[in-house]
Structure 1
Amino acid sequence: MMKSNVGPNGYNNSADIGKAYKYWAKNGIFTVELTEESSCLPFSQKCQPMEIKLNRYFKVVNNFFEYEHEMRSSIMMDGPVSAYMEIYSDFLSYKSGIYRRLNSRSLGASDIKIIGWGTENGVDYWLAVNQWGTEWGEEGFFKLLAGEEQLGYVPSPITPSLVAVDIVQDIPKSYVHSQLFYLAK
């Protein structure tokens, strides 16, 4: 069985952005505010329904990229793109330069954020960040060989779009905590 979200020390991080995006695409999200009289902390499941005020409801549309130029355009217009990356044993020892998978021993998948691209010594790459901290790679960043299947078996990079729903009958009458996003004041 494949581990997911492995780190350089073999830890298993339970965060799985792909599952979250699928969940939100199916269920949508609400933005909420705390009521004036509330003392609960945002993101706490202890907040009672009367302590929050539903603000807006959004459908989530997950956009996948078939071509690299689509991803570059999205990064320029909308910012970073989320992706899964299959992690191979040689990736754990990455220090610098452009990573090109040379090993076939898969350790699982990890969530990454693709923030840009470039060319180094005539080789194109994606500039990315993972959740392993600044002690790993190039202070937490890494360069991933572009133009080849370096992300492994997992889905293409993805970016969600929020579509505001204003038709009352299209807004769910109930919600669960994982659909709530608090607005900072």
Structure 2
Amino acid sequence: MILTPRSERMAMATEGIRQMFSLRIRNILKKELLLFGPTTMAFPVSEEFLHYSSGIFRPYPADNFEKRIVYWHVVRLIGWGQGDDGSHYWIAINSFGEHWGDSDFGNFTVD
């Protein structure tokens, strides 16, 4: 797991669901985290994201995800990791408070 020390909030624009998690964008975000510390990322969320509590959240299930989007949301990325099953995930701090995720921290899939 890689965590970065800086805690400032920064903004980053994205263009569309598919582009956000392309290999190119993933590598750019990892490089940004290593060189400059935490960054922010916007992405579409569905209702189940609001109830995430632990583990690796998978925000893009194939079944009608685009029809289930509630709104776009921004989190602060602070690192990334790899699960026991080999899946890669972002480590993020959310703004929903201590009752979301693991005291406002969460992991969600990169793939």
**TM-score per shorter chain, which class?**
0.5 to 0.7
Give the letter for the 2:83 counterpart. Answer: E
Counterpart of 1:77 in structure 2 is 35
Q: Which structure: larger Rg?
A: 1
Matching of residue 113 in structure 1 with residue 71 in structure 2: no
Q: Which runs of 5+ in 2 are unaligned?
A: 1-10, 14-22
Alpha-carbon distance in 2 for matches of 1:66, 1:137: 28
Equivalences for 1:1-185 in 2 at 5 Å? 66-101=24-59, 102=61, 104=65, 105-121=68-84, 122-147=86-111
Which one-letter code corresponds to 2:58 in the other structure?
R
Question: TM-score when scaled to structure 2?
Answer: 0.68
**Corresponding residue for 1:26?**
none
Hey, what's the Cα distance between the residues in 2 that align with 1:145 and 1:132? 19
Structure 1: which 5+ residue stretches go unaligned? 1-16, 20-64, 148-185
State the 1:18 CA deviation: 6.2
After TM superposition, give the deviation of residue 130 of structure 1 in Å: 1.5
Judging changes above 3 Å, is the alpha-carbon distance between structure 1 residues 110 and 124 closer, same or farther for their aligned structure 2 residues?
same
> Aligned partners of 1:138, 1:76: CA distance in 2, in Å?
23
TM-score (ref. length: structure 1)? 0.42
Equivalent residue pairs, number: 86
Percent of residue pairs identical: 27
* Superposition deviation, residue 77 in structure 1: 1.1
CA distance in 1, matches of 2:28, 2:42: 17
Q: What is the root-mean-square deviation in Å for CA atoms of aligned residues? A: 2.1
Give the partner amino acid of 2:41. Answer: A
Q: Following superposition, which runs of at least 4 residues in structure 1 exceed 3 angstroms of deviation?
A: none
Give distance in 2, aligned partners of 1:86 and 1:130.
14
Distance 1:18 1:67, change over 3 A: closer
